[in-house]
């Protein structure tokens, strides 16, 4: 008999539990699966079959926008609220006393969130294709999805920063008050060119704006060079990670010192 349990089955079971938990909390599953579709219906459906002067499909452009919104929201709300609640319920204390390595728990959370994001994006794109009649090659949609999943790291770390930095009551409010204006001002709800002037000037400094660029360039819209987007996203990842680590350390000292 080995002295410790193998990590892979542990990671699989932990990931499965994460997914089941997320699925069974309607506040989370409905918000992250249905809300992007609802927003797309309000903001994009009437114009979905039109094209921009540069020839890009409005329906496809906004589908990319709301896909970016959807993945970010799974990360920000998922980690932010879920971590804050687990801390309040002291789930972390019990887990801490078991032999499960903390890295396994965090990795399972990230994999669970990626799988959930994938569901959310697939549902949204299906809706856009079937209901709104948006037509693009399958490879375009695969490209949009892959870029958004890979680029989601700043929102993962933002979620952790909210989850470790606030309590279970403050976390949902904090997530909303940060994420919704951020999405709007970054042009995820309507193109940046249609936003008020001062918002347009602010947008290029926001993480969601550069995240959106990843998706917009996949549907053929003119964007900044991908290297610039990635650099901004890396910078924000580092910033949010620093905040999350600080909050995590403070909690460590208080709870487990």
Report yes or no: 66 and 188 within 8 Å, Cβ to Cβ.
yes
* 32 vs 87: CA distance, rounded Å: 22
User: Minimum CB separation from other proteins for residue 2, in Å?
Assistant: 5
Residues at the site binding other proteins, with contacts judged by CB under 8 A: 1-5, 9-10, 13-14, 16-17, 20-21, 24-25, 86, 89-91, 93-94, 96-101, 256-257
User: Minimum CB separation from other proteins for residue 102, in Å?
Assistant: 11
Can you read off the two tokens belonging to residue 88?
Answer: 């309040």
Nearer to other proteins, 25 or 202 (CB): 25
Range 213-216 contact pairs with CB under 8 angstroms and sequence separation of 24 or more: 214/68, 214/147, 214/148, 214/151, 215/64, 215/65, 215/67, 215/68, 215/144, 215/147, 215/148, 216/61, 216/64, 216/65
User: Minimum CB separation from other proteins for residue 17, in Å?
Assistant: 5
Dmax (CA) for the chain in angstroms is: 68
User: Minimum CB separation from other proteins for residue 216, in Å?
Assistant: 37
Can you read off the two tokens belonging to residue 113?
Answer: 């969130």
Nearer to other proteins, 41 or 107 (CB): 107
Nearer to other proteins, 17 or 194 (CB): 17
Nearer to other proteins, 10 or 34 (CB): 10
Nearer to other proteins, 97 or 138 (CB): 97
User: Minimum CB separation from other proteins for residue 19, in Å?
Assistant: 11
């Amino acid at each position: 008999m080995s002295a410790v349990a193998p990590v892979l089955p542990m990671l699989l079971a932990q990931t499965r539990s994460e997914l089941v938990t997320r699925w069974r909390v309607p506040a989370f599953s409905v918000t992250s699966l249905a809300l992007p579709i609802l927003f797309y219906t309000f903001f994009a459906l009437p114009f979905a079959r039109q094209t921009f002067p540069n020839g890009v499909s409005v329906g496809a452009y906004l589908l990319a926008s709301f896909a970016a919104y959807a993945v970010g929201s799974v990360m920000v709300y998922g980690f932010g609220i879920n971590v804050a609640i687990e801390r309040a319920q002291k789930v972390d204390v019990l887990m801490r006393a078991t032999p499960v390595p903390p890295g396994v728990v965090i990795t399972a959370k990230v994999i669970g969130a990626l799988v959930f994001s994938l569901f959310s994006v697939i549902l949204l794109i299906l809706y856009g294709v079937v209901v709104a009649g948006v037509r693009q090659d399958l490879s375009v949609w695969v490209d949009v999805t892959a870029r958004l999943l890979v680029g989601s790291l700043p929102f993962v770390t933002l979620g952790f920063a909210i989850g470790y930095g606030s309590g279970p009551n403050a976390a949902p409010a904090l997530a909303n008050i940060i994420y919704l204006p951020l999405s709007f001002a970054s042009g995820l709800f309507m193109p940046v060119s249609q936003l008020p002037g001062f918002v347009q000037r602010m947008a290029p400094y926001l993480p969601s704006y550069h995240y959106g660029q990843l998706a917009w360039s996949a549907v053929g819209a003119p964007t900044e060079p991908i290297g610039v987007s990635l650099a901004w996203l890396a910078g924000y990842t580092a910033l949010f990670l620093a905040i999350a680590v600080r909050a995590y350390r403070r909690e460590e000292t208080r709870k487990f010192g």
